[in-house]
Amino acid sequence: MAETGRTADLDEGLYSRQLYVLGHDAMMRMQTASVLVSGMRGLGVEIAKNIILGGVKSVAVHDRGVAEWRDLSSQFYLREEDLGKNRAEVSQRRLAELNSYVPVAAHTAAALTEDYLMGFQVVVLTDSTLEEQQQVGELCHRRGVKLVVADTRGLFGQLFCDFGEEMTVYDANGEQPLTALVSIVTKDTAGGIVTCLEDRHGFESGDYVTFSEVKGMTELNGCPPVEIKCLHPDSFSICCDITDFSDYLSGGIVTQVKMPKKVSFKSFSASMAEPEFTVTDYAKFDRPGQLHIAFQALHAFQAKNGRLPKPWNQADGDELVTLAQDVHSAQMGLAKVEKLDEAIIKAMAFVSAGDLAPVNAFIGGLAAQEVMKACTGKFTPLMQWLYFDALECLPEGEDVLPEEDCAPRKCRYDGQIAVFGTKLQDALAKQRYFLVGAGAIGCELMKNFAMMGLASGGSGEVIVTDMDTIEKSNLNRQFLYRPSDVGEMKSDTAAAAVKKMNPSMNITAHQNMVGYESERIYDDHFFEGLDGVANALDNVSTRKYVDGQCVHYYKPLLESGTLGTKANVQVVIPFLTEDYSSSHDPAEKTIPSCTVRNFPNVIEHTLHWAREQFDGLFKQPSEKAIQYLTDPNFMDTLKLPGAQPLEVLDVVYRCLVTDRPRGWADCVSWARNHWQCEYSDKIHQLLHNIPPDQLTSSGAPFWASPKRCPHAHDYSADNELHLDYVMATANLFAQTYGLSGSDDRAAVTRILQDVSVATFRPRSGVTIHDSVEEDPQENSAASVSDDSALEELIMLLSSARSSCRFTLHPIDFEKDDDANRHIDFVMAASNLRAENYDIPPADRHKSKLIAGKIVPAIATTTASVAGLVSLELIKVVQGHQRLESFKNSFMNLALPFFTFSDPIAATRRTYHQTTWTLWDRFEVRGLVRPGGDEMTLRQFLDYFRTEHELEITILSQGNSMVYASFMDPDKLERRLELPMTELVAEVSRKPLEEHVTTLVFVMCLSHSDVDVPNIHYTFH
């Protein structure tokens, strides 16, 4: 594509993660929309950044003003040398670097004329007067231009949407359409009742559905979408007459259909008079009405005085209250608030001169998401006003801050000092924070940290670690990276980028994984020197590890995550809240292995099977063979319980001898025969064991829903999917042996003509379990361990070892490289199996999403959640200690839905008369004095018996049980005299590493129902 051009094609490499959120059709609609963003302070540039990353057709940025000191608190594309320059012109150059497919123009005219505005599909106003909002709002409503108004004032935010008299919403929530298997359909005067096999079908009244694969009542198959009414979790009624339909026999799939719906908006002025609010915090249910008045009063104050209220100035606060009273008195009907909350109005006056990066990030992410809704019709738009405040960030117990402490200093933090004063600014500068991850959330957090001045002076430091390199797909939401950075380390590149935003920030980049293997680096000294930790991770295991370290070292943890348009924030405060590991997400739904092996009924099953096939063909055999050739202890491992030596050595022998190719033709032959095995022979064998007319013990058809009766394939040279499979499989097989492959389909077709394929003959002795409760592993006489067969295989391998003069290359599955054939194989393998079972196939997009377990992501969600995390950071740095001061949050921008709640207090437990939480532990010093003798196990047990009246029956450290009262007396007597560190090293069979200064022990008491804290044993 040209730098400023546009074609009907999408760069799926760039937009891959966003495509999983929006879908192809919505992305194409967005690429036809031009957007104007007026106002290039922190909020405006945040919105512009997100929609440019999102991939609209073009963006224009407008500002009639010049950069001021307070802008540097949140406008991350302004530098000190830009002061006095037009904000739009400076921002345009840096915004244009974000996405080469989106042209960005700067507009600096004083007035937004009608002719200019009509050139855009969406207009976004930030930093506009109320008069301009009203004028532009009426014009846009009249001329069919969609409007978003966004504003932030200190700790307050405002968002308004008007998408016209009639807007089509194509998909209200963006979730995958639900499907359910039909158990029975009965005729009813109301139109028919459908009962599903599942306990919960998930549909809601008013949904529309279609039917397929129904036997008997075939009139339902392919019928137009029909509305339903839910009766029970497992049943619903069809809102149409089916009395003349044939009688239902069996089977059927019901699928939800996303029906377009029309929504209507009031104009800006009409909606201001009769507002409809989207509530962000239900603990502040009446707050939107108060803030609706407060923002109008603030506009009146600016119009009257030509400025915003001075920070924490009492006279200006009183004046704003008076103006708010005037607005309140003039309001009627839906906008009427029963009683004005003067404290809220004064708080608005005190902080309105502030400009905070976290608030801009949150409101900017929301606003940009609404712009994308306006462009695409994807997701439910905001109706029509949203207000937000984060007053909990103000210092606890201080109603008013000293005005002189919050006055402008002509420094880059003036926008933040106006809200919190210099005390917080000084504290932020000295913070030492550990940021784990430099991906999407990590980039946004680093930007916020730089704007806030975190670690910008003295001993302050941000340490960011990420072991990944930058990929093209990252550029769509990890905005610190550019195309020229692809292949570079994320942490290094991100650190350099934020240093340009704030040269005073002290940031150090690492490339380490955080876990047990890096405890030499992130040791006691490291964690004890931190003020806090922020997670920006994409996996639960590392989250739990970091969480455990924060509990161990009493460090606050800021935890967050995203999934498409959904996001959450959790704050973990020592001695106050529960930790991350105290709560658990629902377990991931697993697919029974017998379903995957023999009875798939949806495409997810065949994709799961294909993904297992990939590892089973191109990774595990090579790994086992390499281990056999290089590990002198390999044969000993096969003697362990459950090792299945015959199966393992058979895999090794086939890899080294039987299947080993000598050239490309052998690879093609192997791939063709494997095709025959999987898609023809195994299906024939399955139907030999369980014929299509098989009945269960109760006399019912075996092949009834949810089971699908399969049919075998016959290989066809004219079938492109058949050749796709052979091409991908042969190339990957060649790669595992270090051979060259080929893309020449015609040449492969010629090779296939000479490939010999054995005729299928049913095998006897094969057992195929037909229940999800049973082990689905196919068994045959050949799979039963046989000593003589094993001995013969060992001898054959031993004699073949000397001839193994080739190199094996196990292949790790990589979903993001479209040239490596990994997704080619998975897609072809899955769709061939789907065809075996008459399951609709999946396109490449869906195949990659499911098989690659890709987490959908979008820049708007990431920006918003990082803003909320940064607000919690402000509370942590100030030392807030009230539980209600902190906010855990969850949001779904697609709906839009928000919920904020107090963190859950740490659970309190009791032993004897002592109450404790997860933040408590027994502190035991193993050395009474430096250089003295270390405590033995006997002394350790006596200490707890005498000091705490606790009789330990079992003591463990890590995965090792170091003591149990029921041990062999001789072994026990010896252990009792060992020093604790020596005991741990002996039992765990590895010496303690030099960096270890503390051991954590877990004890069980004679009363097993009594919980007690862990023991922290310090020996240095």
Pairing, β 960-964 against β 253-257: unpaired
List all residues 6 or more positions away from 95 whose beta carbon is below 8 Å from its beta carbon.
Answer: 45, 48, 49, 52, 59, 61, 77, 104
Cα-based distances in Å from 460 to 75, 225, 688, 816, 870: 22, 61, 72, 37, 17
Tokens at residue 983, please?
Answer: 């005991």
Query: What is the C-alpha to C-alpha distance for residues 507 and 497, in angstroms, rounded to an integer?
Result: 11
Q: How far apart are CA 266 and CA 272, in angstroms?
A: 9
CA distance 85 to 66: 5
| Residue 488: half-sphere exposure toward Cβ, Cα within 13 Å | 18
Q: Where are the alpha helices (DSSP H) in 899-951?
A: 937-947
Compute the residue count for the chain.
1020
C-alpha torsion 343→347→349→353, nearest 10: 180
Q: Can you name the residues that pair with 701 across neighbouring β-strands? A: 695
Separation in Å, CA 410 to CA 316, 413, 414:
21, 8, 7
β-partners of residue 237 are 193, 229
Name the strand (E) or helix (H) holding 496: helix 490-501
Q: Which two tokens stand for residue 154?
A: 């200190």
Q: Which two tokens stand for residue 516?
A: 């047990």
Q: Are 385 and 276 in contact (CB under 8 A)?
A: yes
Extract the tokens encoding 466: 């990420």
Three-class DSSP category at 564 = coil
3-state secondary structure 512-525: CCCCHHHCCCCCHH
Give the Å distances, CA to CA, from 478 to 12, 40, 91, 665: 16, 21, 18, 44
CA pair distance 603, 67, nearest whole angstrom: 55
SS3 state of residue 481: coil
- Angle formed by the axes of helices 314-330 and 287-305, nearest 10°: 110
| Cα atoms in the 13 Å half-sphere on the side-chain side of 1010 | 16
Amino acid at 13: G
Residues 586, 587, 591, 594, CA torsion sign:
negative
Residue with tokens 């295989």, as numbered in its chain: 793
CA distances in angstroms from 930 to 47, 926, 999, 1020, listed in the order given: 59, 10, 18, 8
What gap in Å lies between CA 466 and CA 488, rounded to an integer? 11
- Rounded (5°) CA angle 956-958-964: 15
Q: Report the alpha-carbon distance of residue 263 to residue 244 in Å, rounded.
A: 36
Structure tokens at 505: 């920030």
Asked if residue 1005 lies in contact with residue 952, where contact means CB atoms within 8 angstroms, the answer is yes
Residues 989, 588: Cα–Cα separation, whole Å: 35
Let me know: does 625 contact 634? Beta carbons within 8 Å: no
Cα–Cα dist 104/113, whole Å: 19
838: left (phi over 0), alpha (psi -120 to 50) or beta: left
Q: How far apart are CA 696 and CA 873, in angstroms?
A: 62
Enclosing H/E stretch for 194: strand 193-196
What positions carry a catalytic annotation? 594
